[in-house]
A = this chain, B = another copy of it.
C-alpha cells in the first residue's frame, strides 16, 4: 500500500546535488540567486520547494523542475494525509 513516508526534497537536494559537488550552502545559495537562509531552510526540511525554486534548481542542476515539484507534492500529500485523519466527505462518483 505504499506506506513509506516520502523524504523531504531538501534531503534529496543535499545528498544528490550539494554534497556530491562539494558545494557549501553559501556557494549554492549564491549560485541559485537566493539567500543562504532560504536554502538552509530547504535543506533542513523547514521550507518546501516552491515552483520558482524548482525552476532555479532545474536550471542549476540541469534537471526537470517537475521532478522537484513532484517530490514536494508526494511529501505534502503524505503530510496532509497524516494531519487530517479521516475527513468526512460524501461520495459523489457514479460508482
Q: Which residue of B lies closest to A72 (CB)?
A: B73
Total interface residues in chain A, CB < 8 Å:
41
Question: Contact: A51 with B77, CB < 8 Å?
Answer: yes
Which applies to chain A's interface (DSSP): helix, strand, loop or mixed?
Answer: helix
Q: How far is the CA of A30 from the CA of B89 in the complex (A)?
A: 9
9 contacts across the A-B interface (CB closer than 8 A): A21-B92, A31-B90, A54-B80, A60-B90, A60-B92, A62-B91, A62-B93, A69-B76, A70-B73
Residues of A within 8 A of B (CB): 17, 21, 23, 28, 30-33, 50-52, 54-56, 59-63, 65-66, 69-70, 73-74, 76-77, 79-81, 83-84, 87-95
